[in-house]
Chains A and B, each alone.
Chain A
């Protein structure tokens, strides 16, 4: 396997992108989960799909756009979708969750139209839906790297503000933090990470890499930084185990990574329960 990675560029791209996403997705995921925005991540991934399907359709229709990397339109759609969600959430103040089905169905609806215009599914689209070990290009890897850089800069600058905003929004407002702007930036960063993750895990499974490691981490952590650390460890393990098994078993990595995450979650819950029972027995 290691020999294969050294020999084949596509494997290097896939593994390096995977390792980066394995850190970035759960890192941002902790904020997404504690702010109860898991479903928003899901809605955004479907909007990203619309951008990708649109891009694939354009490449098919116009020869000059044949080489356009779909990740770019995917990013545009994802960031645009995140801004639309914010707009809808303030429009339906008392039914904020309505923004999720509206954006999600818009995303799937548009995707369906572009897919039919492009005369049906092809393997390329399948790789965007469920991820791929072989389809990650050097250009994709560079985009993933840049997006990871944006996430790190964002958190370096706003970690303490994001903590306050996530923990107690009313307090954040009362202390005069620019919560609106920080939240908007956060939404853009989330949209970028979703677009970056899709190459490896696929659009349909992006939100799982953001939420499952966090769900497992929250079972065993006491504090916020613990939660981030555990989430990254679980996320990274799922990506490594998932990619290796996808390579050997010739499966879509999205599937293997998500199933690994679920197994990790199950193991963590069981161990926690076992320890709790032992503690109760000992009194």
Chain B
């Protein structure tokens, strides 16, 4: 499917989606993430320019943008792996550099570069390792760690795979295990960087269903960088359109007022919205 078609479908689906989650969340506006005038550059290439936006508790935000738009860099800034050239990043109201509660944030990276697939570890060991930061240095795993592992695996529908070698699972199953690894520390915020790259289409659907469930039932705020605009769009609450800078960030209803000309200008190629 061409990129144009994807964008078209995205807008179409956002326009048609159910509104109830959004209304519920408008009441809860505590910002979990706040970026103010953030810029970033690699050597002499400007990657992100003057980014300001906030993510509130309970949001399910998809960051969309073409290749090279700075999506992954934005996540790195939020996680504190990269430092901004200027501007400020705040997590839970605190500056990212002094933020201590990393266990509140679950991170799931692209499957392709996440790990060495021949690594000798069971699903149980991998999920349990998600507790490392929460427990802290010099301390041992808690006695109920095994129960926590089972609970986390149940939440992603993978409890039967407890004893399997992680490398022997399919790409979609591995990503579920990595979500479980993030869930075990009971995060308030889940950050996913193109989590479905290399996963076949059917599994992508159920993967996003699972994320939507976690967002709704466990009130976990989710930020997702993705290319699967057509699949994800009927499950998210917010959209951010990124191309070096944030061109749009808001609810679906606000999308309606965006003109085709505006979209073309942001992405440098023809994108059309169908009503």
Contacts and interface: CB of A to CB of B under 8 A. Distances in A.
Contacts of B131: 160
Nearest to A168: B115
Contacts of A163: 121, 125, 129, 132
Contacts of A218: 120
A171 B107 contact: yes
Contacts of B124: 223
A173 interface: yes
Contacts of B132: 160-161, 163-164, 175, 177
Contacts of A168: 109, 114-115
- Size bin of chain B's contact surface: 20 to 34
Contact of B133 (A176, A222, A226): A176
Contacts of A222: 120, 122, 163-165
> Of A158, A224, A227, which is in contact with the most chain B CB atoms at under 10 Å from its CB?
A224
A242 B121 CA distance: 30
Interface stretch (B37-45, B134-142, B235-243): B134-142
Interface in A153-197: 157-158, 160-161, 163-164, 166-168, 170-171, 173-178
Contacts of B80: 176
Contacts of A176: 80, 102, 133
Contacts of B116: 34, 36, 167
B156 interface: no
A149 B247 CA distance: 58
A174 B138 CA distance: 19
Contacts of A174: 79, 81, 107, 109
A161 B129 CA distance: 8
Nearest to B114: A168
Interface in B62-94: 79-81
A221 interface: yes
B126 interface: yes
A224 B133 contact: no
Contact of A160 (B122, B129, B163, B164): B129
B165 A167 contact: no
> Of B121, B124, B131, which is in contact with the most chain A CB atoms at under 10 Å from its CB?
B121
B119 A171 contact: no
A116 to B, nearest CB: 43
A166 to B, nearest CB: 8
A173 B81 CA distance: 7
Nearest to B113: A170
Given A157-B137, A164-B129, A171-B109, A34 B102 contact: no
B109 A167 contact: no
Given A157-B138, A160-B135, A222-B163, A171 B114 contact: yes
B120 A34 contact: yes
A243 to B, nearest CB: 28
Nearest to A225: B125
Given A218-B120, A221-B120, A222-B165, A161 B114 contact: no
Given A161-B132, A175-B132, A176-B133, A170 B119 contact: no
Nearest to B164: A222
A173 B120 CA distance: 21
Given A167-B129, A174-B79, A226 B120 contact: yes
Given A223-B122, A223-B124, 13 more contacts: A36-B116, A158-B137, A163-B125, A163-B132, A167-B119, A168-B109, A170-B113, A171-B107, A171-B115, A222-B163, A223-B120, A224-B120, A224-B121
Interface of A: 34, 36, 157-158, 160-161, 163-164, 166-168, 170-171, 173-178, 217-218, 221-227
12 contacts: A157-B137, A160-B131, A164-B129, A164-B132, A167-B116, A167-B121, A171-B115, A174-B81, A217-B120, A221-B120, A222-B120, A222-B164
